[in-house]
Amino acid sequence: MNDGLSDLLRDDPLLDTAWYLARYPDVAGTGLTAEQHYLAIGAELGRDPGPAFCTTAYLAANPDVAAAGLNPLVHYVQSGRREGRPTRPGTARCDVTPGPPMTDAGAPALPGALARRAGARLVLVVGHAAGPVWFGAERSLLALLASYHRIGIDTALVLPAGADTRYVEAAQALTTAVHFATVPFRRPRHDPDTGAVAHAHRLIADTGADAVQTNTVVPREALLAARRAGIPAVVFAREIPTGDRQLEEWLGAPADEIVASVAGDADYLLTTSRAAADTYPMAGRTAVVPPPADEHLLALGPPRPDGPLRVALVGSVQEKKGVADFVALAALLADRTDIVCRVIGPLTPYAHRLLAAGVPGNLEFAGAADDPPAALALADVVVNLSTCEEAFSRTMLEAMAAGLPAVGWDRGAIPEVVVDGVTGYVVPFGDLPAMAHRLRWLRDPAVRRRLGDAGRARAQALYSSAAADAALATAWSAILPTADVLAERAGDRHLPLPTNHRAPHARPFYAGNRSRWAHCTAVAFAGPDLLVTASLLGQEAFVVSVDPASGEAAIVGSLPTTADGVPASVDLLDVTDGKVVAANCESQGVTVLRLDGHALRHEGSIRLPGGGFAHGAAWVPGRPGTPGLAAVATNTGAEEVAFVSTVSGAQIASFRKDGWVMKDVAFADPARMVVAMMRQPLDQDPATCHQARLVLVALGTDLADQQVLDEVDLPASTADGCCVHGHLALVADQARDAVHVYDVAGDRLQHVRTLRGFSLPHDVAVSPDGRWIAVANYGTNTVTLRPWPEDLDA
């Protein structure tokens, strides 16, 4: 560190220490003073030393300074001032007007344009970045505020002191109030800023916030204040720390410690992609909420068909964005006179160093554009070459929305956004020759038009404002239940199961847009005071003792679940007369267990003759001529309800519904069964659109004699475990956190009621005495025991 230069800057009014530390709160954790940080790191990041000097604009207007690799403020102080060079020249976007100062005691510094709505919940949203150039996090925050308003949730916003006035004005239009505070960066290896926690706690009280949500993983103290206030602490994780050296440097910790810190501070996680969701160990408390496509881009006309192919890298010009690789890519394409390459983003010191080192003649650094439409007007195809894993690629989505092909690496969230060969190309990471090869294909306007049209259609279908709103609303229905839902679950009792993970599932599955692990998967009563439950991932079944009066429950026995001596994952099960029949998922069969007091004994396993993953199983009543007869619902492979003998292994008959996969089966009586089914099984894609159906089927003496009596569709729902108690059928719906109740007294399915307030419920059962409903929750890995509603006629 050059002490002489530090002294030089410390004494100059252009370096505003208070402004710098407030605008860049991560500096406090580095142990550097403002002038030391600006000299060592700040100028490199394109940060301004104060509101009166713009780093990027000065370098853009003075290429001699950039070429010499000089610190811009040092140059100005030593010679630029004397030479009459401007501190904030207009050749680059640097219209920074410092925002209002930090407010006292959490009082709103500026009112928002939106009024508080009677009965609406309020989320205190905390952003850490609000500079003059708006990148993904800043633009996503504005879109998020708009989405909150559309789904009926009010917001108050916290921005860093000294935030850009133009950004503040944009935010004011979308929220009820804008507050200003020091927003320290997360420092996993340092103690939290107690002053910032206290200030956030006062803001929570002053605004009456029902929850706190940070816009990225960077802020921390507001989450701790939420915990202190007893309200949900929610992180919108827009980062995948793995491989992001810059984030590790900013936060002063390796990626695994950042992930652990976030998971430890958050009650719930919102993310932009499955790749991001899978990074954090919070399945069951995670929802994917992709950002919406810019409607201005969707409204643009078709791209130009002629002229040289303009390949663009759009965004912040930093090392981790792969700018050096883009220079190398341009060199690979330099033999083509009909291809030009363009970097569209602020001219940072890093950009100037690349320019000073020399770039191919077909490459230009165009500087920042005013907005996404202006940026994409300069491109025919957009590439993403980030060296770190992207939690989402907004530039890929914007390209698609604008009708342009999108090309990126096969890592992070890019393969979720871009469909290879359909909306653009997904290339093996680091393979620049392969990238160049695909870009040469795009010289053909017809190819560009085909990919661009498909990309725009995908953006409209999956990334519309309506889709984003629905995903956000689903997430918050689990985070902030309404008063009536809270009342419904007031008498609930919860029994947690051990959180073991023995099954070979490396990534969570999704119900709706929410990730979950398949732990507590099944539940069935063996008597008024005894039930059997199972953990799919734990590959274990449990015997639970229940106090019929209070609903208090305890595990009193367990048994590892196996099939032919091999560990097996149980999905759903049924119990009759002390005999358990369990569907063995990937083992494509069922296992029979026997209850011996509080112990479970293994009696045998069979494989299904027709194959298929077994999801649901139920004993078939009233068939004395075929002992041990079970109905097994398969959801992958055979896609049928198979009637099989657990004694001989023979399949007697089957029930199918074309285009549907079977999830579970329950019997209203020996002659009628209820089948829960879905259009497709759950998978690891949060964009899956669920559709479920419940079917009432009449059965003759010959089980092959079948007649569909009635069927009802459950749109945007899942149908998993089901049961029948008296004349009521109950079916668990993970996507809605609900159990639907239908009357099956006659030959029709009549919806009676929906019970709410569960957490990704996978199975449901009713005690023989009708006192308790038991629900197996994937989200919380618990069995919930809820008193039978008095107004629900059984």
Q: Is residue 98 assigned to a domain?
A: no
Say if residue 65 is in the same domain as residue 130.
no
Encode pLDDT of 241-263 as tens digits: 998 988 888 888 999 999 999 99
Residue 513 pLDDT greater than 90, yes or no:
no
Say if residue 219 is in the same domain as residue 248.
yes
**β-strands 599-607, 589-596: how paired?**
antiparallel
Mean pLDDT value across the chain: 90
Say what the pLDDT of residue 99 is.
46
Say if residue 54 is in the same domain as residue 153.
no
- Of the three residues 395, 428, 463, the one that is the final residue of a domain is 463
Say if residue 564 is in the same domain as residue 584.
yes
- Of the three residues 288, 310, 331, the one that is the final residue of a domain is 288
Q: List C-alpha distances in Å: 569 to 102, 589, 640, 732.
A: 55, 11, 19, 19
Average pLDDT over residues 388-405: 94
Q: Is residue 478 assigned to a domain?
A: no
Q: Rounded distance, CA 378 to CA 384, Å?
A: 16
Radius of gyration of the chain (CA): 30
Q: Is residue 71 assigned to a domain?
A: yes
Residue range of the domain that includes 337: 295-463
Q: Is residue 94 assigned to a domain?
A: no
Per-residue pLDDT band at 794 (split at 50, 70, 90): low
Say if residue 270 is in the same domain as residue 303.
no
- Of the three residues 288, 306, 323, the one that is the final residue of a domain is 288
**β-strands 211-214, 233-237: how paired?**
parallel
Q: Is 643:654 a contact under the CB 8 Å cutoff?
A: yes
Phi and psi based region of residue 564 (left: phi greater than 0; alpha: psi -120 to 50; beta: remaining): left
Q: Is residue 44 assigned to a domain?
A: yes
Say if residue 662 is in the same domain as residue 601.
yes
Encode pLDDT of 676-731 as tens digits: 999 887 766 666 667 899 999 999 999 999 999 999 999 888 999 999 999 999 99
Say if residue 269 is in the same domain as residue 305.
no
Residue bearing tokens 């956190």: 737
DSSP string, 768-793: TTSSEEEEEETTTTEEEEEEPPTTS-
Q: Is residue 282 assigned to a domain?
A: yes
Say if residue 414 is in the same domain as residue 449.
yes
CATH of the domain at 675: 2.130.10.10
Number of domains in the chain: 4
Average pLDDT over residues 490-508: 88
Q: Is residue 793 assigned to a domain?
A: no
Q: Is residue 96 assigned to a domain?
A: no
- pTM listed for this prediction: 0.80
Question: Phi, psi at residue 111, to the nearest 5°?
Answer: -75, 150
CATH of the domain at 252: 3.40.50.2000
Tell me, what DSSP letter sits at residue 627?
Answer: T
Question: Phi, psi at residue 748, to the nearest 5°?
Answer: -130, 155
Say if residue 146 is in the same domain as residue 73.
no
The residue with greater pLDDT, 96 or 229, is 229
Say if residue 458 is in the same domain as residue 489.
no
Say if residue 401 is in the same domain as residue 267.
no
Say if residue 273 is in the same domain as residue 305.
no
Encode pLDDT of 648-679 as tens digits: 999 999 999 999 999 999 999 999 999 999 98
Phi and psi based region of residue 403 (left: phi greater than 0; alpha: psi -120 to 50; beta: remaining): left
Average pLDDT over residues 523-541: 96
What residues contact residue 19 under an 8 Å CB cut-off, 6+ apart?
50, 51, 98, 162
Q: Nearest CA to 59 among 41, 30, 31, 80?
A: 80
Say what the pLDDT of residue 103 is.
44
